[in-house]
Amino acid sequence: MVLGALTILTMMLAEFQADTSATVASAMADRDGVQAEYVARSAINLSRLLIAMEPTLRQGIAPLFVLLKRSPPQLPLWEFSDRLLAPFNDKDATQQFASSLNVNFSTGKNLGLPFGRFEITIADEDAKINVNLGASNDIAHIRLAKELMGLMLPPQYNPLFEQRDATGNYNDRLSICAAIIDWADVDENAMNCDTTQNSPTSTGGIEDAYYQLLAVKPYRRKNAPYDSLEELHLVRGITDDFWATFVDPDPTKPEKRVMTVWGQGAINVNSANAQTLLGVVCSGAPTATICTDITQAGIFLSALTMSRAMTMGAPLFGSPADFIATMKGQGMLGPILTGMGMTAVKFLSEADFAKTITTESKVFSINAVGIMKGYKRETRLRIVMVVDFRNAPNLSGAGAAPSSSTGPVTGAPTTAVPSTSASAASTSIVQPATAGNAIYFRID
Same domain, 186 and 307: yes
Question: What single-letter amino acid sits at 408?
Answer: P
Distances (CA, A) of 195 to 129, 201, 267: 17, 9, 20
59, 396 Cβ separation under 8 angstroms: yes
Same domain, 145 and 112: no
Same domain, 379 and 312: no
Asked if the structure places residue 11 within a domain, the reply is no
Report the DSSP beta bridge partners of residue 170: 164
Round to whole Å and give the CA distance between 262 and 331: 32
Same domain, 88 and 139: no
Q: Report the number of distinct structural domains present in the chain.
A: 2
* Helices 138-152 & 274-284 angle (0-180, nearest 10): 120
Angle at 89 between CA 83 and CA 92, to 5 degrees: 85
Res 17: pLDDT: 76
Res 397: pLDDT: 62
Same domain, 161 and 195: yes
Domain boundary among 338, 358, 378: 358
Res 428: pLDDT: 55
Res 148: pLDDT: 92
108, 131 Cβ separation under 8 angstroms: no
Same domain, 172 and 272: yes
Nearest alpha-carbon partner for 76 in 119, 40, 42, 127: 127
Round to whole Å and give the CA distance between 406 and 415: 9
267, 146 Cβ separation under 8 angstroms: no
Round to whole Å and give the CA distance between 426 and 119: 34
Q: What are phi and psi of 67, to 5 degrees?
A: -65, -30
Res 216: pLDDT: 83
Asked if the structure places residue 17 within a domain, the reply is no
Same domain, 104 and 36: yes
Res 251: pLDDT: 87
Q: For the chain, what's the residue count?
A: 444
Same domain, 133 and 120: no
Same domain, 176 and 158: yes
3-state secondary structure of 437: strand
Same domain, 301 and 174: yes
Asked if the structure places residue 7 within a domain, the reply is no
Domain holding 47, by residue range, is 26-127+370-411+425-444
Res 305: pLDDT: 85
Asked if the structure places residue 34 within a domain, the reply is yes
Res 426: pLDDT: 54
CA 13 to mean position of chain CA atoms? 55
SS3 for 351-419 is HHHHCCEECCCCEEEEEEEEEEEECCEEEEEEEEEEEECCCCCCCCCCCCCCCHHHCCCCCCCCCCCCC
Asked if the structure places residue 418 within a domain, the reply is no
| Residue ranges in the chain whose pLDDT is less than 50 | 400-419
Same domain, 245 and 348: yes
Asked if the structure places residue 432 within a domain, the reply is yes
Res 2: pLDDT: 76
CA contacts within 13 A on the Cβ side of 376: 1
DSSP annotation of 345 reads P
Same domain, 321 and 376: no
Asked if the structure places residue 294 within a domain, the reply is yes
